[in-house]
Amino acid sequence: MITLVGMNHRSAPLELRERACFPEDGLPETLARFKESIGAPEALIIATCNRVELVARSADPGGTGAKIRAFLASERGFDAETLERHVYVYEGLEAARHVFAVACGLDSMVLGEPQILGQVKKAYAIARESGATGPVLDRLLQHVLAAAKRVRTTTGISRHAVSVAYAAANLARGIFDDLHGRSALVLGAGKMTELAARHLVAQGVTDLAITNRTYARAAQLAASLGGTAIPWDEFPRALGRVDIVLTGTAAPQPVLSREQVKAALRARRGRPLFIVDIAVPRDVEPEVHDLDGVYLYDVDDLQGIVDAGLDERRRAAEEAIGMLDAEVVAFDRWRQSVDLGPTIAAMRDRLHGLGRDEIARFGRRLSTLSAEQHAAVEELTRSVIQKVLHAPIVALKSSADRGEAAARARLYREIFGLTGHEAHGAPPEADAQADTQAEAKLGPHRVIQGGKDA
């Protein structure tokens, strides 16, 4: 059974999440301690700046959650009461579903954010390389990573802008082929303007001209961004050559008029001009947007795009949840089919054992047979048993495709009189897992101990 104990932005405040975070450097050693501490054959830790998820597959479903919490408490210095309030525990299918949701960004602070997929991928790579994962978690994570990629491509959940700077960059990409090598003029040197200008540079804008009424501040910002400072009076001339204008001065009146932009258009010879006005009150006369080839967006326009982007992400998240349900069912079927192995082996052992016992019981009456005839009787018995077993085994395997494997396996164990120990070394978890699966069909099997659903 898979058990997951986690802490995220909904269940715990930042200071607790910071404390719970496991540094990537020592993760292999932490994983080794984690496995040893809870006695689990498979383990995984996903630790980012905003969450920590400790996942384990163990044979002791009842106590695993408590053991993981004890491990978290001892490793990161939490008291029991804090963990009681701020962590969540998922078991069985719900644990698998949560890992799927995390990888798709459905459980992220910024819905659909793309970085989490890389972080899950990295966490899995570390766990696999350090030998912490095994067949079940390997299968789960391979399934999760493929599904997360598919969900992102199909639903487009990460495509829509959720910040003003991102929205502006997206708009710029809708106008220009590429932002790499583009030029921009920055009016103003305040904090917000600096942040937005840094985002433009990060997106590939290389030729940056910065101007401010106080030249020294423009020079200072230009030095930190790798741009060029120009005197305030010269910016109208720069309008003729740049692709993007970013403006965020504290001026009470517009600093860029329609006439100034119109005059610059002659020098531009039809090249489009994208103006981002993040100032309040606005720096650019709204009529500028009416000019052919000029696209002016102010903070309200950008916020409108952000709001629409969030709506789109929510809509995509609903679609993604539908897709995840199918993925979780597919994983569960695989797991059920794997779980059938011990039952099938036990059935074979049981019937072949009966065959051997019966041949032994008839030993005196068969003693007159030659060695060759004796071997033929044994072969005949084996063959009859194989044929008798064939149809039930096929039916049992096909029940996994319908999600009925656990119930069928229990029925078969009852019919064939297979006890837990007789089930060919079947781990006790097989029975417990069967119970969990049966419960899962009745409704969500989720243990919440923390702020998430409190």
Partner 1 sequence: MAHALFLAALALLVIGATLAVIAELRRLEPLARSGAGALSAAWALQLAGLVTVAVTDGTLPMRTGPEYLLVLGWFVLSLHLLLWFRSGIRALALVLPPIAAVMVAAAHLIPTSGMQVGNGPQRGWFLFHTSVATAGMGALAVSFAMSVLFLVKEKGLKGKKPLRVLDRLPSLQTVDRIGFTALMWGFPLLTVGIVTGMVYNAELHDRIWTPGMKQTFPLLAWGMFAILLWARFSRGIRGRRSAFLSIAGFALGLLTLLGMVH
- Choosing from 223, 250, 308, 384, the residue that interacts with partner 1 (CB under 8 A) is 308
Within 249-268, the residues that bind partner 1 by CB under 8 A are 268
Decide if residue 282 touches partner 1 (CB under 8 A). Answer: no
Number of Cβ atoms within 10 Å of the Cβ of 441:
12
241 in contact with partner 1 (CB under 8 A): no
Q: What are phi and psi of 10, to 5 degrees?
A: -85, -30
Which of 7, 103, 210, 305 touches partner 1 by CB under 8 A?
305
Measured CA angle at 334 (ends 415, 426), to 5 deg: 45
Under rule CB under 8 A, residue 171 binds partner 1: yes
Residue from the set 9, 19, 149, 159 that interacts with partner 1 by CB under 8 A: 159
Report the nearest approach of partner 1 to the CB of residue 149 (Å).
Answer: 13
User: Nearer Cβ to partner 1, position 290 or 401?
Assistant: 290
Q: In 3-state terms, what secondary structure has residue 298?
A: strand
Q: Is the peptide bond before 114 cis (omega within 30 degrees of 0)?
A: no
Selected range binding partner 1 among 244-252, 293-301, 343-351, 392-400, rule: CB under 8 A: 293-301
Q: 3-class SS at 330?
A: helix
DSSP readout, 32-78?
Answer: HHHHHHHT-SEEEEEE-SS-EEEEEE-S-HHHHHHHHHHHHHHHHT-
Q: How many CA atoms lie within 13 A of 239 on its CB side?
A: 24
Catalytically annotated residues: 49
Shortest reach from residue 327's CB to partner 1, in Å: 18
* Backbone dihedral angles phi then psi of residue 61, each to the nearest 5 degrees: -60, -35
Token output for 343: 């039952």
Query: Locate tokens 């720069």: which residue?
Result: 238
Segment interacting with partner 1 (CB under 8 A) among 151-159, 324-332, 337-345, 381-389: 151-159
Residues 6+ apart with CB under 8 A from 406: 336, 339, 433, 434, 437, 438
Size of the site for partner 1 (CB under 8 A): 26
Can you tell me which of 271, 361, 402, 421 binds partner 1, judged by CB under 8 A? 271
The binding site for partner 1 (CB under 8 A) comprises: 153-154, 156, 159, 171, 173-177, 268-272, 289, 292-293, 295, 297, 301, 304-305, 308-309, 312
